[in-house]
């Protein structure tokens, strides 16, 4: 039997934070001490869940409206947009993108968040969407606030939005965070600094994109995301899929 093969390019761990990053204290007890076992991709790795647009509601992607009860949330109206690409530079179409964030005051709608900034009654702080045929996505939100967390006594997270990417294969699964250009808290953040390579850190900083701003309405930031691409196995297997 012939099984189509479209293995992913080996992950370059140098682009990522190591599991054990003592500057981020919680990682010390939650990071494996033994080496990861390298596993050549089988069907179990290069397949993954498929999601349909019909599963999502019409406002699921709109953080300005998807939890609005008595009005719209307070904060800087912001568009975030970009493309999900693979390492070969191709758009990743029809893939699930999920986002979550604090409100404009830096407070999360979460039962474990006890920060003194108030909950916004009109802001849930999460959204989800599926990329179009070119890999593009876009959503509206309010810019999240900075907030303190207990890493050092006076440690603050820069404004950020969490992104979860599904990809087409389970081995592409990725969770990351997007930061905002010009935020003075970024260089001292213990989370972004788990990434050793300064150039890699910089790729998580979304530039202001005035061209995508909506005049008299919203500012815009652009954040492109790269998932793993598939290998060119020119002679090993049937040529396809890359």
Partner 1 sequence: MTKLEYLPETPSQTAGPYVHIGLIPHQAGFDIFEKPFGNILAERNTKGERIRIEGRVLDGLGSPCKDILLEIWQANAAGRYNHPADGQTDKPLEPGFRGWGRTGTEFDTGLYRFDTVKPGPVIGRRGYKTMAPHVNVWLAARGINIGLATRMYFDDEAALNEEDPVLRMIEPAVRRQTLIARRENRDDGVVYVFDIRLQGENETVFFDV
Catalytic residues: 108, 147, 157, 160, 162
CB of 181 to partner 1, least distance (A): 16
Interface residue with partner 1 among 62, 87, 132, 209 (CB under 8 A) is 87
Q: How does 33-42 read in b/e, with b if 16+ C-beta sit within 10 Å? A: eeeeeeeebe
Greatest Cα-to-Cα distance within the chain, rounded to the nearest angstrom: 61
Interface residue with partner 1 among 79, 129, 142, 204 (CB under 8 A) is 204
Strand ranges (E), 65-189: 77-86, 96-100, 126-130, 136-142, 147-149, 155-157, 160-165, 174-180
Q: Helix (H, G, I), strand (E, B), or coil: what is residue 66?
A: coil
Asked if 61 touches partner 1 (CB under 8 A), the answer is no
Asked if 47 touches partner 1 (CB under 8 A), the answer is yes
Interface residue with partner 1 among 140, 143, 201, 222 (CB under 8 A) is 201
CB of 146 to partner 1, least distance (A): 14
* Interface positions, 90-109, toward partner 1 (CB under 8 A): 98-100, 108-109
Tell me which stretch binds partner 1 (CB under 8 A): 54-62, 70-78, 132-140, 180-188.
54-62
Asked if 229 touches partner 1 (CB under 8 A), the answer is yes
Asked if 188 touches partner 1 (CB under 8 A), the answer is no
Give the H or E element holding residue 227: strand 225-227
Asked if 86 touches partner 1 (CB under 8 A), the answer is yes
Asked if 70 touches partner 1 (CB under 8 A), the answer is no
In the complex with partner 1, the residue whose CB is nearer, 77 or 109, is 109
Alpha-carbon distances of 92 from 137, 164, 185, 230, rounded to whole Å: 10, 14, 32, 12
Closest to 93 measured CA to CA, from 143, 154, 135? 135
Tell me which stretch binds partner 1 (CB under 8 A): 17-25, 70-78, 135-143, 211-219.
17-25
Asked if 57 and 128 touch (Cβ cutoff 8 Å), the reply is no
């Amino acid at each position: 039997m012939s099984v189509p093969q479209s293995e992913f390019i080996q992950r370059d761990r140098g682009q990522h934070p190591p599991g054990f990053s003592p500057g981020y204290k919680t990682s010390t007890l939650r990071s494996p001490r033994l080496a990861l076992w390298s596993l050549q991709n089988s069907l179990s790795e290069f397949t993954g869940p498929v999601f349909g647009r019909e599963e999502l509601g019409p406002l699921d992607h709109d953080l300005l409206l998807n939890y609005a009860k008595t009005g719209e949330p307070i904060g800087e109206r912001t568009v975030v947009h970009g493309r999900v690409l693979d390492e070969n530079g191709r758009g990743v179409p029809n893939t699930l993108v999920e986002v979550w964030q604090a409100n404009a005051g830096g407070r999360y709608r979460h039962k474990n968040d006890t920060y003194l900034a108030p909950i916004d009654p009109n802001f849930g702080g999460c959204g989800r969407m599926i990329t179009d045929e070119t890999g593009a996505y876009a959503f509206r939100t309010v810019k999240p606030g900075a907030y303190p967390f207990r890493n050092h006594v006076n440690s603050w997270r820069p404004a950020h939005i969490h992104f979860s990417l599904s990809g087409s294969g389970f081995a592409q699964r990725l969770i990351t965070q997007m930061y905002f250009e010009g935020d003075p808290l970024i260089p001292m953040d213990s989370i972004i600094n788990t990434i050793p390579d300064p150039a890699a850190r910089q790729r998580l900083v979304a530039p202001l994109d005035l061209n995508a701003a909506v005049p008299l309405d919203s500012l815009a930031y652009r954040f492109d995301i790269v998932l793993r691409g598939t290998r060119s196995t020119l002679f090993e297997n049937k040529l396809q899929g890359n």
